A = this chain, B = another copy of it.
Amino acid sequence: MLQILVSSIIISITNLQLLKYETRKDEIIQTSAILFQKKGYSAVTMRDIAKAMGIKAASLYNHIKSKQEILSEIIISLAEQFTEQMKIIKNSNDSSIDKLRQIVDLHVNITTNNQFGMASLNNDWMHLENELEYYLNLRTNYENDFRGIIEEGIQGNELINGNPEVMLFSILSTLRSLYIWLPKKEDLDIEKFINELSLVLINGINQ
């Protein structure tokens, strides 16, 4: 009877872990992302990652091919999410202002769900090797679509007749920095925040 109880506890612990991480590889990637955020990819060693998981560095290689692969998994999956979602927003029939709001929404949501990985995406992409070119393509596509939406808004008189490059830079810089700022705000009402941020980015702060 006791043995059955103990066994069921172990099963439920196993299930709990399966709920949090799909695979052990996934756990390595997420643990690494936390460490990469704190010190950057280059300053984190395989022994650091292993220690954070309570195992030895060599054991990591039962699940991953290389340190590089961990970085790629973090960055590429995020970059693909952004580029895919941007395509959907771009191809919708909404107004330009509405599309911009959706882009803010996209960034806030991906950042909220991938708090740690966003630091690698922003700061460690240059340490990609095989996938560097692919990443740069994704990024360029994303930026071009973003720029297109702004230019459309200017032509349709939704946006002021300003420098689209300055607008793109200004909004995108803010959205790319969300990963630094969002974790500092606990108990944040995400919906309310998206509205506040959209308002500031689109309408400015002038009374």
For this chain, the copies found in one complex come to 2
Assess A205 versus B173: contact at CB under 8 Å? Given A40-B40, A126-B39.
Answer: no
Quick one: which of B40, B196, B202 contacts A205, CB cutoff 8 A? B202
Inter-chain contacts of A61 with B (CB < 8 A): none
| Chain B hits for A173, CB < 8 A | 173-174, 176-177, 180-181
Q: Which of A51-59, A109-117, A157-165 contacts B (4 or more CB under 8 A)?
A: A157-165
Asked if A206 is at the interface (CB within 8 A of a chain B CB), the reply is yes
On chain B, the residues within 8 Å of A185 by CB distance are 165
Task: Give the docked Cα–Cα distance between A193 and B167 (Å).
Answer: 11
- Whether A206 and B203, one on each chain, are in contact in the complex, defined by CB atoms closer than 8 angstroms, is yes
Contact call B169/A205, Cβ cutoff below 8 A: no
Per the CB 8 Å criterion, the residue count for chain A at the interface is 44
The reply to whether the CB of A207 lies closer than 8 angstroms to some CB of chain B is yes
Contacting residues, chain B, for A193 (C-beta < 8 A) = 166
Residue A15 interfacial (CB < 8 Å): no
* A142-167 to B contact mask, C-beta < 8 Å, 1/0: 00000000100100011110110111
Question: Which residues of the other chain, B, contact A203 by a CB distance below 8 angstroms?
Answer: 160, 204, 206
Q: How far is the CB of A188 from chain B (nearest CB, A)?
A: 10
With contacts A176-B177, A207-B157 taken as known, whether A201 is within 8 angstroms of B170 at the C-beta atoms is yes
Asked if A127 lies at the interface with its beta carbon under 8 angstroms from chain B, I say: yes
B-contact 0/1 string along A106-135, CB 8 Å cutoff: 000000000000000001101100000000
User: Which B residues lie within 8 Å of A40 (CB)?
Assistant: 40-42, 123-124, 126
Chain A positions near chain B (C-beta within 8 angstroms) = 38-43, 97, 123-124, 126-127, 150, 153, 157-160, 162-163, 165-167, 169-171, 173-174, 176-177, 180-181, 185, 193, 196-197, 199-207
